[in-house]
Structure 1
Amino acid sequence: MTRILMLSTALSAIALPALAETLTIYTSQPQEQMTEVIAAFNEAHPDIQVDLFRSGTTEVMAKLQAEFAAGNSPADVLLIADAVAMTQLKADDRLLAHPDAPVQGIDAALLDADAMFFPTKLITTGIVYNTTLVDTAPTSWADLAEPQAAAQTIMPSPLYSGAAAIHVGTMVQQPEFGWDYFEALADGGAVAGQGNGTVLEAVARGEKAYGVLVEYMAMNAKAQGSPVDFVFPSEGVTAVTQPVAILAQTDAPEAAKAFVDWQLGQAAQEQSVAQGYFPLVAGMAAPEGYPDAASLTIIGADNAALLSDGEAVKMEFADLYGG
């Protein structure tokens, strides 16, 4: 008995290694990119296993809300191209604050004042076109509304894509565009696909000559030899920052904070540039072939209106283009 007690005491004095944590991430970032992200994150944090659910922002949010309604979600971290959805989750007390996140070098205007979610990159929406079908490249959003161009235009649907929801919501706030612009496109024969991937495929295959698309998809496809090019329209571009956040009900808060911190760090920002994104950290160069981010005209949006009008915008869009 004495020997057993002594052995038990000796074992209790040994510091056992911490069990590896599992981190569940819900995201709208493309699968192949997230594979690279997770591999790079695990180089820095090999003890954290990452489980992934990936779909369009709207489907990610629908899954999350259904899980909340059922009682809980397995998600620990959310990484989506929709600051408006993050704002709603914050208002619903679904996010965990992370005031110690390393935000040095990031424009304070892009940061949530309560440190509930954080921008990870700058993603703009402009015009992609097929270089074998188009002799004269468009230069403006107005060019797409011309009847010949509209008939050959495809755009992502805000019913599926968070970036598309922000793009449409932002454009209809502008007096020079409004719903009249989208009605003109629809009257001219423009169609809506699902997400941005659908748009790129249609334009790259020559099914459509023009598309409304996030810039990195077009620029990456061009670099890989696809017959496409991208235009930053003269009136300006709409933009999202692909924020990352920790869910309040996470059972792995330290692993979640580690992922957020890594996303905001130098290694992740360099990876973002390599994947074709504008960097958020000051002093970092944009990907090859991109303009300087500081030279872009960003079309401003009323974020409170984007949140309050979001469902109405989706319904109006569906009336024009189908749901």
Structure 2
Amino acid sequence: MTLLRRLALGLLTSTALATGALAQAGGTITVYTSQPSDQMAAVVEAFNKDHPEITVEVFRTGTTELMSKLQAEFAAGSSPADVMLIADAVAMTQLKNDGRLYAYDNAPLAGIPAAVVDPDHTFFGTKLITTGIVYNTTLVKQAPTSWADLEKPEIAAQTIMPSPLYSGAAVIHVGTMVQQPEFGWPYYETLAKNGAVAGQGNGTVLEAVARGEKAYGIIIEYMAMNAKAKGSPVDFVFPKEGVSSITQPVAILKDSDNIEAAKVFVDWELGRAAQEQSAAQGYFPILEGVAQPAGYPDPASLKILSADPAKMLAADKETKETFSDLFGG
């Protein structure tokens, strides 16, 4: 059963925020994140209303660049990061396998589906994000309905996508698509041959489509849906073949010099206040009883493309190299 279907069937219980971290925790923590800067500013503001005793410093960039920075810091001896909040469970798994994450066994998991929780409690999903198709409503008269539509030469030539060399969500999406028998690398080869291009992150895709520089894009749903709600000439399609999904996990770095304050941040991210804020920012919430954003489909109506994270991790370098060969970067 998919995670979204679990949510739709109401198999989750209501969450009561646990007290896994010390109430007296304070000081400063540094959060490395791929979440958009404006959203993170709102997250920090909301967190500090509940926990003014903790100062949160944020470093934000695309997941791939973030991981490169972190690995360079590890090689130099240490990183200032205390918490990771990134849209890439594969990257989190790599950090776990490298022994970089703290096992938070007392994290408040009541009401959190097991499907988004690392079995060793080193990282925890905080929201649901799917990838589909955005299109410019002034340029496109007939909306696409499937991933296969993008292969058509006249559509591919007007299509832009995020690059896994920059975006963690793109890593998951490309990794998922190449595991599908009906797509695989031949799908991306066709897109490249017919003129599709890659930008950097999802933001570059949205900008290009909203401005009319491209008519179609591959993008995470909340960016397109938020832009549409604000009056941008875009709309979003959940392709009929299915969508890839990510959960934006949060984790504490094992070498953090403020573990207790980091626990408070994780507790808050898994609690109702953060879940309601996530829904307000355009994400599918993971807790029962938190209303999903207006205009979003019933999660039960979505088909989630299955993918093996272990295979995705093992193929990560090859995936990025192959994508780069096709689209540059």
**Residues 158-198 of structure 1: CA distance to partner in whole angstroms, max 9, x if unpaired?**
00000001100110011100001001101110000000000
Q: Distance in 2 between matches of 1:179 and 1:296?
A: 24
Match of 2:302 among 285, 296, 308: 296
Aligned mates of 1:193, 1:169 — CA distance in 2: 17
Given the alignment of the two structures, is residue 263 of structure 1 paired with residue 269 of structure 2, yes or no?
yes
Partner of 1:308: 314
Distance 1:299 1:188 in 2: 25
Cα deviation digits, residues 239-296 of structure 1 (max 9, x gap): 1100000000000011100000000000000000000000011333210000122321
- 1:229 paired with 2:231, answer no
Matched-pair contact (CA < 8 Å) for 1:157–1:195: yes
Q: Which residue does the alignment assign to 1:14?
A: none
Query: 1:124: which partner in 2?
Result: 130
Moved more, 68-77 or 276-285: 276-285
* Gaps in structure 1 of 5+ consecutive residues: 1-17
Higher Rg of the two aligned structures: 1
Aligned-pair identity (%): 71
* Aligned position for 1:115: 121
Query: Shift in Å at residue 20 of structure 1?
Result: 4.2
1:188 to 2:194 alignment: yes
**In structure 2, how many angstroms separate the alpha carbons of the residues matched to 1:322 and 1:157?**
9
Distance of aligned partners of 1:154 and 1:109 in 2 relative to their CA distance in 1, 3 Å threshold: same
Is structure 2 residue 60 aligned with structure 1 residue 54? Answer: yes
The higher-RCO structure (CA 8 Å, 6+ apart) is 2
Shift of 1:19: 8.8
1:170 equivalent among 149, 166, 176: 176
Asked whether 1:241 is paired with 2:231, we answer: no
Distance 1:19 1:298, change over 3 A: closer
Query: SS of the counterpart of 2:142?
Result: coil
On the 8 A contact 1:126/1:215 being kept in 2, the answer is: yes
Q: Distance in 2 between matches of 1:306 and 1:114?
A: 19
Aligned equivalents of 1:220, 1:199: Cα separation in 2:
14
Alpha-carbon separation, structure 2, partners of 1:150 and 1:315: 21
> One-letter code of the match for 2:160?
I
CA distance, structure 2, for counterparts of residue 312 and residue 116 of structure 1:
26
Aligned counterparts of 1:145 and 1:285: Cα–Cα separation in 2: 36
The 5 A counterparts of 1:279-294 are: 279-294=285-300
Aligned to 2:15: none
**Partner of residue 98, structure 2:** 92
TM-score by length of 1: 0.93
Gaps in structure 2 of 5+ consecutive residues: 1-23
The structure 1 residue matched to 2:213, chosen from 204, 207, 210, is 207
Change (3 A) 1:19 1:282: closer
* Amino acid of the structure 2 residue aligned with 1:55: T
